[in-house]
Structure 1
Amino acid sequence: MPHEYSTITTGIPGLDQVLKGGFPVSNIYVLKGVPGSGKTTAALQFLRAGVEQGERCLYVSLAQTRVELEQIAASHDWSLEGIDIAELSASEDAAIAVDQSIFQTADLRLEETRRAIVTAIDRYKPRRVVYDSLLEVRVLTGDDARFRRELIGLKTILSQRAITGILIDTDTAQGHSRDDEIEAIAHGVIRLDKTLPDYGVARRRIEVSKMRGRPVADGYHDMVIREGDGVVCFPRIVPRVVPEQTKSLDLIKSGVENLDNLFGGGQEAGTTTLVIGQAGTGKSTMASLYATAALKRGEHVALFLFEERVETFFRRSEGLGMDLRGFVDNGQLLIKDFNPGEVTAGQFGQIVQEEVGKDRTRVVVIDSFTGYLSALPNRDQAVQDIQSLLKFLARRGVLTMLIVAQHGLIGENVSIDVDVSFLGDTVLLLRIEEVGHQLKRSITAVKKRHGPHAMSVHELSITPEGVSVSPSALDMSR
C-alpha cells in the first residue's frame, strides 16, 4: 500500500505545482465547473498520466459515450489506449419494470448503476478512476440524504481498493443545495472557471478550493485549453518562494555616459524602472539602448512587446544603429510580441519566469505596460499581478524596464490611466516641448530609491547616429 503522504501527478504540471506535488493517493477528488470549462479534458489527462506510469485506469461514464470521449481525445491528437471505458446508463430502466411496487424506479436505477460500477472496478482493477458525472446521480436522488449515501458508498468502494478517483460535477446556472455535501465528503475540490469577456477569447481559471491535510497555493490560477496539450495551468507567482539574489552585482549601464550619470553611474540590478512619456518621446528607444548594452556585455535580455511587431522593433532599433537580430540567433535575446486579448496574466508571468530562469538574464523589458493592461480584462487585478512579477524579478537580480505611455502628444496633458508610480524604484520621465520654433526631447530622472540621481532636465537627442544626452540642463523656456 502507498504511504499516506504519497502523491500522484494530476497530468497537469501547473496544477501539480499548485498542489505542491499532486493528488494524495487513494482519495476521491471533485472536479467542478460549468460546461465547456475543461473538466473532461482534465480528467483524461489524469488518466493518461496514469497510463504513462503503467497503471490501470478506468473511465466510468454516465454522461458521455465512448465515441464522444474518443472525439475529445482526437481533438488533442491523443490516444485512449490503456484507458478502460465503462459506459453506464442512469436514465434507462435496464429491463426493470416501470410499475415496480416495492422500490421506486430511481432507487432501482441507482442500485443497478452502483452494481455496474463495482463490476467494472473489480474487472479492470484500476489504480485511477474517473466518474462522469455527479449531475446524473443528482437526477436520480430526490433528497440530500440519499445523495450523501451514494457519495459515501462510492467513496467506500474506491477507498477499500486503494483507488484514486475524480468525480466530475457540473455547475449549472441554478446551482445545487447539495454542493456542501460533495465538498464535505471529498478529500479535495478543484474548480474550473470560465468567463466570456465582451470581446475576445474565453478566460479560464482553476482553483483548489479544498485539499485536506496539505498546503496548496491559494486563489485562482490562470489556465487555457491548448490543442495538443489539453488543460494548461499557470500557477500564480509567489515572490517570497524565490531565492533572493544576494551576491553583489555591478551597476547596469546604458552605454551612454551622460545618461548613466543621471543615475549616479548606472541602474541597480533587482530594481524596476518606469520609462514614462508621451508618443514620440523615445520610450522604446531607451529600452533598445539598455538591451543593446547588456547584450554587448554578453548578458541575456528578454523583450516583451504588447504594442508593436517584432519586425517593427528591429527596424526602429536598426535605424538608430542598434542591430539586435544577431543576438536572437545566438540565443542571448528573447523577443516576443503578444496580441491583445490572447494572453492571460498567469501565462505571461510563466513565460517571463521561464526566461529569467536562465542565469545570465540581467534585463527584462515590457513594452508597454499600457498595452499589457489593455490586454487584460481586470486592470486592478493586472496591476497586482505585475507587482508580484516585478518582486519575483527583483529577487532574481534583474533590471526590469516598464514602458508606460501617457496621453497626448505635445503639451501638459501627461495623465496615465492608472497610478503605477508605486511599481517603480526609478522613474525616468521623457517629454517633448516647444523651444522657440523647434520641438525638443527632454529627459529627467524624477525618482530613484537607491543611491544618488540628478533631478535636472537634460536634452535627449535621438538621431541615426545614436542616442545622446546633453551634459547641461535644457532651457525649456518658450
Structure 2
Amino acid sequence: MSQSAGSAEMNRIPTGVRNLDHILKGGLPGRYTYLVQGEPGTGKTTFSLQFLLEGMRQGEKCLFVTLSQNRHELELIARSHGWSLDGIEIVELQAEKPEDDDQTVFYPVDVRLDTTRQAVIEAINRHEPKRLVYDSLVEIRQLARDDYRFQRELINFKQLVRDKGIATLLIDTGPREHTDLEVESMAHGIFQLERDLPAYGKARRRLDVSKMRGVDYFDGYHDIDILQEDGVVTFPRVVPELAPEETGGDLIQCGIEDLDEMLGGGMERGTTALVVGQAGTGKSTLSSLYLWAALERGENCAMFLFEERPETFFRRSEGLGFPMRKYEKSGMLRLYDFNPSEISQGQFNEMALNAVDENDTRVVVIDSFTGYVSGLPQPEEAIIQMQLLLQYLARRNVLTVLVVAQRGLLGHNMDTDIDVSFLGDTVIFLRMYEWPAVIRRTISVVKKRHGPHDLDIRQIKISQKGISIQDFVPPPPGRPSPKPDYD
C-alpha cells in the first residue's frame, strides 16, 4: 500500500452529493474504487461530476476519462445545473487517428483495448489526479470481447489507481440484475441509482448503497432527486434513534376549556393526534385551533397543506378569528404547499425534519394525511415511512396533528381509505348527525394513550365567533334520530 493510499484511510472523503455523506456516516472510507450503477437517465453522470467538483473544492486534481460522452455533452450537463468544469481534466477516448483514409470515425468498439489502456495510464501519469471518474464499463466490455480479459483489465486498473491513491468512480450502465458479480466483488463500494416511472406524476428516483467495505452506513433505499442547482440530492431514510430525545413540558392546550377537559387537560408533547372525520366536520378548523394556540404562546409551528391553497387556509383561519398571516411573515409559522405527486416521501421528510431541527418547531400539522398518501404511487410504503417520521418528531417532543378524511358526507361510517389508527396516540373523532332539517357536528375523544379522557359525545359549533363545545342536545320531539349505520 502506498503512503498516499494509507493516509487516505485516516480520513473520510466527502462525496459532493448532498446528504450522501450522512448516509455513509462521514463520507467515502478511503481512496478506493467505487462503482456507480444504473440505467440511462438515473443521474450517474451528474453524480460523478459532483464527486469531481467536490474534489476541486478540496484543492484536489480531478480527471474525467470518458469513452461514452464527449466534452461538449459533459459541459451541457454541468451548465444545466449552473456549474463550470474549469479545472477538471477531461480525456476523451471515443476516437483515435484512423489507419484508413476512407474511415474518419472510430467508435469505442473499434479501438484496441491496449491502446485505450495506455491512453488512460498516460492521462493518469500526466495529470496526477486524486479523484478519477471512468465512464463507462460498457465500452470496456465491448473492447475486451470476453469475460476473462474484461476481468483482468479491471483488476489491473484497480491496482493502478490503488497504488497511486486515487479515489475512483467507475460508471456502469444497465439494470441491477445484469451487473457482473465480478465487478461488484472488485469494488470497495457500490452506489445503485434507480428510476421508476409511475402511472401519473413525477418519476421516482432512489439510491441504494448496496456495499461499502469496512464502515458502517445506512443501507437500504433512500429517495433521491435531480434538482437544477444542486444536481443529485439524497433524502436519507428517517432513523428515529438519531433524534436527540426531549421530554417534559406542560400539556398542549387549544384554548377552549371544554375541549381541553375532554382531553384530560390537553395533549401531551411528543405525541401524535389524529383528527378523523368526513368532509365538513371541521377537521381543518380544529387543527388550525391548535396551531393558533401554539403561535399565541410564542411557539414555532409548521403546516403542510395538501388539499387547499395557502390563501384559502389564511382566509378560513381569519374567519374564525385566527389572523395567522403575521406569524407566517415573522417566520414563526412555516407553511408548505405542494402536490404530493411532485415530491418524494424522503423530500417531505426532510422538510419536516428541517422545520423541527432548524426552527425549533413545537407543533406540526399535516392537512390532510389522506390527501398526501393518496397522491403517492406506493401508499403502504409511505405509511411506514410516516411512522418513522412520527417517532422522530416524538423524540423531539413535538406534537404532530394528522388530519384523516373519511368517506362520504353524513352518517356514522368510520371507514377510511387507509388504516392509520395505529399511528395516533390521541384520536379525535368528528361526525355529522342528520335529522329532518337539522344537521349537527359532534366531537368525541375515542383514544388517548397517555392519561384520562372524556368518552362523552359533545356537540361542536363553528361560527364567526369561533369554536365552542356544548353538551349534545337530542333531536326535537317528533323527530326521531336515524338508526346508526354499522355496515
TM-score (normalised: structure 1)? 0.94
Kindly indicate whether the alpha-carbon contact (under 8 Å) linking 2:370 and 2:418 is maintained by their aligned counterparts in 1. Answer: no
CA deviations on 1:203-262 (whole Å, 9 max, x unpaired) are 10011000001111111100110001100110000001212113x210000011100001
Partner SS, residue 251 of structure 2: coil
Name the amino acid aligned to 2:386. Answer: I
Kindly indicate whether the alpha-carbon contact (under 8 Å) linking 2:18 and 2:232 is maintained by their aligned counterparts in 1. Answer: no
Partner SS, residue 353 of structure 1: helix
Q: Give the counterpart of 2:50 among 45, 51, 57.
A: 45
Distance 1:272 1:474 in 2: 30
Partner SS, residue 357 of structure 1: helix
Partner SS, residue 19 of structure 2: helix
* 2:319 alignment partner in structure 1: 319
Q: CA deviation at 1:359?
A: 6.0
Moved over 4 A (4+): 91-94, 105-108
Label 1:326 to 1:22 Cα distance change in 2 as closer, same or farther (>3 A): same
Q: CA deviation at 1:94?
A: 5.4
* 2:251 alignment partner in structure 1: 251
Distance 2:435 2:300 in 1: 39
Label 1:268 to 1:321 Cα distance change in 2 as closer, same or farther (>3 A): same
1:170 aligns with 2:173: yes
Q: Give the counterpart of 1:144 among 144, 147, 150.
A: 147
* 1:262 alignment partner in structure 2: 262
Q: CA deviation at 1:306?
A: 0.7
TM-score (normalised: structure 2)? 0.93
Kindly indicate whether the alpha-carbon contact (under 8 Å) linking 2:202 and 2:343 is maintained by their aligned counterparts in 1. Answer: no
1:126 aligns with 2:129: yes
Distance 1:186 1:116 in 2: 22
* 1:100 alignment partner in structure 2: none
Which moves more between the two structures, 9-18 or 63-72? 9-18
How many residues were matched structurally?
466
Q: CA deviation at 1:430?
A: 0.2
1:289 aligns with 2:289: yes
Q: CA deviation at 1:141?
A: 2.1
Q: CA deviation at 1:107?
A: 10
Q: Runs of 5+ in structure 1 lacking a partner?
A: 98-104
Distance 1:140 1:211 in 2: 29
Distance 1:375 1:436 in 2: 37
Distance 2:322 2:294 in 1: 12
Q: CA deviation at 1:318?
A: 0.7
Residues 56-455 of structure 1 aligned to structure 2 (within 5 Å): 56-89=61-94, 95=99, 109-172=112-175, 176=178, 179-246=180-247, 248-358=248-358, 360-455=360-455
* 2:18 alignment partner in structure 1: 13
Kindly indicate whether the alpha-carbon contact (under 8 Å) linking 1:200 and 1:342 is maintained by their aligned counterparts in 2. Answer: yes
Name the amino acid aligned to 2:180. Answer: D
Kindly indicate whether the alpha-carbon contact (under 8 Å) linking 1:408 and 1:414 is maintained by their aligned counterparts in 2. Answer: no
Q: CA deviation at 1:343?
A: 1.1
Distance 2:460 2:358 in 1: 33
Q: CA deviation at 1:31?
A: 0.3
Kindly indicate whether the alpha-carbon contact (under 8 Å) linking 1:183 and 1:189 is maintained by their aligned counterparts in 2. Answer: yes
Partner SS, residue 63 of structure 1: coil
Q: CA deviation at 1:445?
A: 0.1
Q: Runs of 5+ in structure 2 lacking a partner?
A: 102-107, 482-487
CA deviations on 1:325-380 (whole Å, 9 max, x unpaired) are 00011110001111131011000000000010146421000000001101211011
Kindly indicate whether the alpha-carbon contact (under 8 Å) linking 2:300 and 2:360 is maintained by their aligned counterparts in 1. Answer: yes
Name the amino acid aligned to 2:167. Answer: T
Which moves more between the two structures, 105-114 or 220-229? 105-114
Identity %: 53
Partner SS, residue 150 of structure 1: helix
**What value does the CA root-mean-square deviation take over the aligned residues?**
1.8
Distance 1:109 1:259 in 2: 80
Label 1:468 to 1:106 Cα distance change in 2 as closer, same or farther (>3 A): closer
Name the amino acid aligned to 1:153. Answer: N
CA deviations on 1:18-56 (whole Å, 9 max, x unpaired) are 111111221010000110000000000000001011110
